[in-house]
Structure 1
Amino acid sequence: METAEEISLRGQAEIWKYMFSFADSMAVKCAVELRIPDIINNHKGPMSLSQIAAAIPNATSSPNVACLTRIMRLLVRRNIFAAHRPSDGSEDSTTLYGLTHLSTWLLSGDGDDQLTLAPMLLMENHPWLTAPWHCFGQCVREGGLAFEKAHGPEIWDFVSENGEFNRMLNKGMECASRIVLKAVVAAYKDGLGSVESLVDVGGGTGGAVAAIVKSCPHIKGINFDLPDVVAKAPVHPGVLHVGGDMFESVPNADAWIMHDWSDEDCVKILKNCRKAIPETGGKVIIVDIVLEPEGNGLFDDTGLVLDLVMVAHTSAGKERTENEWKKILKEGGFPRYKVIKIPALTSIIEAYPQ
């Protein structure tokens, strides 16, 4: 049984931890920027710090190995890298640093088959996207959007005015989408087996629906987004790009995939899907987070954090509990639904018109 003094001391230690929790993400970001996971991976085995430093791209002839030592010490503590120390315990012998099951997710991701979170990590920790987090207090006191308070324009206007930000955002979202879709296709083959045509509503450049069609070639894929977006989209085998406004109407198909929007926008899109749905057999497939605030699953904590990411970066986006999904589905004309859990951050929600 802990004493009051021990409980208080533990509380102090926890606050110190949360106070500096940003240091973890900054240290990981540094390792990715220096391409340390790739350096070790290309070496085909553990390396000394001097070997790693010598291989860092664009480094000077005398990189700061002492600084690198301190960064790697924390990352070893966090299990991002493994430290292979000499068996004799000698201080004079060289410690070698290797990859772990965490750092393999930080490889650069060159090639379509490489699953990586590195671009997403760099994106979320960029000053442009961390700045809105400092505006949460203002948002609570005054209302308004965190991104606008930090930068002036809302995020999509900022994207349109900043090519570098647009490229960074696309890379980050594409890598996350690739991971989710691999899990969706693997776990949802039965659900996709009966689908002959599929529309990705707001599908951007079509990467998501292309991944589904590649795995399920019997499906006719339609990538639906604004005309200026699909005009820049690359050609994907089996995918037709269609331009339009999802708040006005959506193309006819057997099924639609949706992503996160405000409640009001979700209902508008769902109603348009309901109008276009076949009399029998049609469904909407939602690939998104289903929050479990009291849950202890692998991704439940991350889901709550991502809901705050929506506050920081979007105009009205949010993550939802099952009851919140149930409400907007019913308002959108889909009184029946099923939540399918998959080994991923997201779940699949099948929504039926009757």
Structure 2
Amino acid sequence: MTSFTDSVALKSAVELRIADIIDRFGQPISLSKIVENIEDAPTPDIDLLHRIMRVLIRRKIFSAVQSENGETLYGLTRASKWILRDTKMTLAPMLLLENHPLHLNPTHYVSEIIREGTQNGTAFFKCHGHEQFDMTGLNPDYNRLFNDGMVCTARIVSKAVISGYKDGFNQIHSLVDVGGGIGGSLSEIVRAYPHINGINFDLSHVVSTAPKYDGITHVGGDMFVSIPNADAVYMKWILHDWSDQHCIKILKNCRKAIPEKSGKVIIVDHVLQPEGNGLFDDTGFAFDMMLLAHNAGGKERTEENWKWLFEQTGFPRYNIIKINALPSIIEAFPI
């Protein structure tokens, strides 16, 4: 009932850059020292910050030790590194995205769409008057917030993919990342496998803001119409955003884009375990709840759900590879 308060405390710490302040000193520091270094804080309230830190210490986001003079000193933990704002492996942008009012407010409409169905729009639409992916094209600030969140998770998941997929990319000479955003995932793959010619494929307004990467061509288009040809198709956290019928259209276009005998589709997405008690299983259900509010038909899928999609779209063979991240690698083959 009150789990949201943890997110409130964590978001506050990220916005105030508490972890970064402690990190700059290289050692645990006092609350007064933290307050002194908060930017744009003309009249900071140290008592309110103490209450936030008290929660985050219980959640092991920060540590607290007593100095010789009895003063409490606040330090970093293993979890703190994920909310450092200026590091490559930060989750701070994703945390700010998931806790932004644009993302949270649609959850108040979930019971309404359960009563009425989604034929008149998702909870996101009922809240904002636009569907989520339309909003990214209409609201530049939201588009930037969304892309930043996707890029930071792309770095982390791509590292797990590259480590866990081992030789999976070796025989691929051209790889199209469908729904690749501004190229975060693909850039990590091409950096690790420089022989790959990467095609970053997304909506035109998305790729128009993408930076240049060596070995990558940005292409604007619509995955429901056609997908650029390549040896293999890569999709990270794309299909879970869409209904089964939408996914069938996407996968059929993937089938057309790859070679008949040697092609494959590489899907990086969650495989929901209804009875699972693994490290990421609860998070999978949390993502499913967010998709319920944000997307028309979007959902996390069980292995049976994935198998059914492949059967409908001309992929008689598939393989699931677990990696050290929330999603798994799901390979789908046309023969």
Query: What residue in structure 2 maps to residue 267 of structure 1?
Result: 248
Deviation at 1:37, TM superposition (A): 0.4
Matched, 1:101 2:78: yes
What is residue 235 of structure 1 aligned with on the other side?
212
> 2 CA distance for matches of 1:149 and 1:274?
35
Which of 24, 28, 52 is equivalent to 1:71?
Answer: 52
- Number of residue pairs the alignment of both structures matches: 328
Q: Retained in 1: the 8 A contact 2:314–2:334?
A: yes
Q: Matches of 1:241 and 1:171 in 2, distance apart?
A: 17
Stretches of 4+ moved more than 4 A in 1?
none
SS in 2 for 1:323: helix
Q: Using the TM superposition, give the Cα deviation of residue 159 of structure 1 relative to its aligned residue in structure 2, in angstroms.
A: 2.1
Pairing partner for 2:272 from 291, 303, 319 = 291
Aligned residue for 1:337, secondary structure, equals strand
Alignment of 1:37-76 (within 5 A): 37-60=19-42, 62-76=43-57
Alpha-carbon distance, 1:281 to partner: 1.6
Contact 2:200 2:216 in 1 (8 A): yes
Residues 269-318 of structure 1: CA distance to partner in whole angstroms, max 9, x if unpaired?
A: 21122223213221110011111121111101000110111112223321
Q: Residue 6 of structure 1 corresponds to which residue in structure 2?
A: none
For 2:220 and 2:44, the matched residues in 1 are separated by: 50
SS where residue 121 of structure 1 aligns? Answer: helix
Quick one: which of 313, 323, 333 aligns to 1:342? 323
Structure 2 residue corresponding to 1:137, chosen from 111, 116, 120: 111
* Secondary structure in 1 matching 2:107: helix
Q: CA deviation at 1:268?
A: 1.1
Instruction: Tell me by how many angstroms 1:86 deviates.
Output: 4.1
Q: Which residue of 2 aligns with 1:81?
A: 62
CA distance in 1, matches of 2:48, 2:207: 46
Structure with greater Cα Rg: 1
Q: Which amino acid aligns with 1:119?
A: P
User: When the two structures are superposed, what TM-score results if normalisation uses the length of structure 1?
Assistant: 0.89
Cα deviation, residue 28, structure 1: 0.7
Distance 1:234 1:107, change over 3 A: same
Answer with 118-127 or 158-167: which moved more. Answer: 158-167
Q: 1:289 to 1:337 in 2, by over 3 A?
A: same
Q: Which runs of 5+ in 2 are unaligned?
A: none
How much has 1:229 moved relative to structure 2? 3.2
Partner of 1:157: 134
Any stretches of 5+ residues in structure 1 without a counterpart?
1-18
Identity in percent: 57
Structure 1 stretch displaced more, 168-177 or 270-279: 270-279
Change (3 A) 1:32 1:333: same
What secondary structure is seen at the aligned counterpart in 2 of 1:285?
strand
Shift of 1:156: 2.1
Q: How does 1:1-354 map to 2 (within 5 A)?
A: 19-60=1-42, 62-86=43-67, 93-110=70-87, 114-144=88-118, 145-258=122-235, 259-260=238-239, 261-354=242-335
Deviation at 1:322, TM superposition (A): 0.6
Secondary structure at the residue paired with 2:329? strand
Give RMSD over aligned pairs: 1.4
The 3 A distance-change label for structure 1 pair 251 and 161 is: closer
Q: Distance in 2 between matches of 1:93 and 1:231?
A: 55
